[in-house]
Amino acid sequence: MILASLSKGGPDVKMALAEPDAERSFRNVAAWISLCGILDGTPMADWLLSRSPGAVLIRLYHRLRGFSTGFLRDLRYGPGSTLDFPLRLPPHLRLISVAGFPLREHLTRRVSRRCHGRHGGVCPRR
């Protein structure tokens, strides 16, 4: 079996692999393909949970549309965060990580450039 995860699914698999019976639970999984998995969390989650006016507006927008932002607590980055532990793969399981990077045309809007640049991304200058 090959397991594939996307974005937030990566941290979910990492946490499942940290369970005491993980090797038995994943015994039939030969490979895990993590597509843009943020296995150690992201500083963006900390910003989105902050009191910054922009972050508050984004949370309000999502709340008004009926979306929860509670999952962001699981995606915090740094010491003491939920994901602050080493990835433990069973010896038989191979991990393939696929990381995505935005193209210049994906950052044409000012808000896209600012958001991407907020946490270490390199934004193109026009």
pLDDT digits (tens, 9 = 90+) for 47-67: 889 999 988 999 999 999 999
Name which of 2-6, 13-17, 56-60 the model is least confident about.
Answer: 56-60
- pLDDT band of 116, cuts 50, 70, 90: low
Two tokens at 49? 């949970």
Q: Starting at the edge strand that comes first in sequence, how are the strands of the sheet with 94-98 ordered?
A: 2-6, 31-35, 94-98
Locate 17 and state its tokens. Answer: 């692999």
Greater confidence (26 vs 114) lies with 26
Contact 96, 32 (CB under 8 A): yes
Q: What is the pLDDT of residue 113?
A: 65
Q: Which residue has the higher pLDDT, 107 or 6?
A: 6
Which pLDDT band holds residue 114 (cuts at 50, 70, 90)?
low
pTM: predicted TM-score of the whole model, two decimal places: 0.76
Name the residue type at position 102: P
Give yes or no for a contact between 73 and 5, defined as CB atoms under 8 angstroms apart. no
pLDDT at 125 over 80: no
